[in-house]
Chain A
């Protein structure tokens, strides 16, 4: 499905070269399973990797292959049309565009209100209250996240990326979110890539990839990765010293 070959990314400091920071270091990955979860400490390069796959940022070296086709130099739009969807960690607000506008744009076709409502119901939103709401500051962070997920469902593409879908979603809705992914897992004819820190999401993964300091530090089935992950000490040693 999706293959990353020697992908690297670096942020350059124009005034002081010694401040250049490598965000991703020679990443090699092959994603063929239904559901793969990337986890790891903050600042480890997870969101950067997702943006590189969606085409939002370009790697300084390496290749991205989707179903055998090199998409490294393709634009965001071309990749979207090849079947990549991306739910942002921080959804974007639009003055004037409504929820149904966004669902229709996602699906790439006109759609009846009842069809659009199905996608909203799936993410636990009472559709009739939301369908004509503007995607503006009147929606809460949690509502925006759910609409963002509904948009990916409406696209129904073969490769879907979710960047921390659980962030901002309340505890009561979290169970519902797991069900969304479980249902997607059963119906999808492709792969789902989720960036997450939640054990419940890690538990439904076919494969877990741990990304830390721009490198894959471990990967494998949840049985292989989870025990090490739970006992591993990725907290700052200085902080730990203070606590202890």
Chain B
């Protein structure tokens, strides 16, 4: 792997050497490294591109890294990854995609990740998207995440896209059984002419299931963002969705929360706020000696921290 690819891996998976535990590194559409452990198996799919990640029941405190990097301009990559998380296990999964495009053709990675989280299993899923390269070719990432959580299962999903992705459409669909919990934190920053569309849809099917979907975003320059968040309460359940966005320059942000209660004991809340950086925040930081540009940077970095 060359320096560009190593840098992409560091950006999306926060790893600088060979990761500990199980991993699968996909580079320019091909397998570039894999490790399995006694409890976590990774198997290449035979019918379509992608892998199955199989975590044995009861596996505790193990991690799986599955970064994808694209450094060839004009490559269109599509994968299907399925995660089978065994009963009572507790694992961390770090996925992510980095694109370096210095050519003129569009580079695109579309991934469909499907989670089957068994009874009482716990997953922390971290997904980072990053683009770089000074070519005119577009960098496009379209992740789809499908989440099935069985009784008492728990999933926390942190999704981050801070830089360099020209266009993204992110679809996440979740189905929760009795006592299952889903927590999603999304952070997005767009600039230039970038567009980002997020679609969350959560079905709270089980009794005492709960979901908390929180998005924080910053839209700069001429970029456009759309945030759709649907929660359907089909049983006695708790659902909360929140979108908080800072808008700058000539950007555009739409927040469209949608709640549907199909059960009298469904308790659903949505909050959405879009606004520019408050003038008094800039003034406060300027009275500490920061320039207006430095103040703006501190506010944006803090907001997306």
Task: Tell whether A pairs with B.
Answer: yes
Segment touching B, from A58-66, A77-85, A111-119, A234-242? A77-85
Apart from A56-B287, A91-B284, A96-B216, what are 11 other A-B pairs with CB-CB below 8 Å?
Answer: A76-B283, A77-B290, A77-B292, A80-B286, A80-B288, A86-B287, A92-B283, A94-B299, A96-B305, A105-B290, A105-B298
Q: How far is the CA of A106 from the CA of B303 in the complex (A)?
A: 18
Interface class of chain A by DSSP? mixed
B288: A residues at CB distance < 8 A: 80, 105-106, 108, 151, 155
B283 near A77 with CB under 8 A, answer no
Q: How far is the CA of A10 from the CA of B267 in the complex (A)?
A: 52
In the complex, whether B260 has a CB less than 8 A from a CB of chain A is no
Beyond A77-B292, A101-B302, whether A92 also contacts B278 by CB under 8 A is: yes
A101: B residues at CB distance < 8 A: 298, 302
The residue in B278, B283, B288 that gathers the most chain A C-beta atoms within 10 A of its C-beta is: B288
Q: Which residues of B contact A (CB under 8 A)?
A: 216, 244, 278, 280-281, 283-292, 298-299, 301-305
In the complex, whether A42 has a CB less than 8 A from a CB of chain B is no
Q: Smallest CB-CB separation from B246: which chain A residue?
A: A95
A98: B residues at CB distance < 8 A: 302
Q: How far is the CA of A110 from the CA of B289 in the complex (A)?
A: 15
Min CB gap A190→B, angstroms: 16
A94 near B281 with CB under 8 A, answer yes
In the complex, whether A202 has a CB less than 8 A from a CB of chain B is no
Q: How far is the CA of A106 from the CA of B298 in the complex (A)?
A: 13
Q: How far is the CA of A92 from the CA of B291 in the complex (A)?
A: 17
B286 near A97 with CB under 8 A, answer no
Q: How far is the CA of A81 from the CA of B288 in the complex (A)?
A: 8
Min CB gap B253→A, angstroms: 16
B298 near A54 with CB under 8 A, answer no
B283 near A95 with CB under 8 A, answer no
B284: A residues at CB distance < 8 A: 88, 91-92
Closest 4 interchain pairs by CB? A96-B302, A97-B302, A80-B289, A76-B286
In the complex, whether A75 has a CB less than 8 A from a CB of chain B is yes
A95 near B303 with CB under 8 A, answer yes
A105: B residues at CB distance < 8 A: 285, 288, 290, 298
B304 near A96 with CB under 8 A, answer yes
A77 near B289 with CB under 8 A, answer yes
Choose from A75, A91, A94 the contact partner of B286 (Cβ within 8 Å). A75
Q: Smallest CB-CB separation from A91: which chain B residue?
A: B284
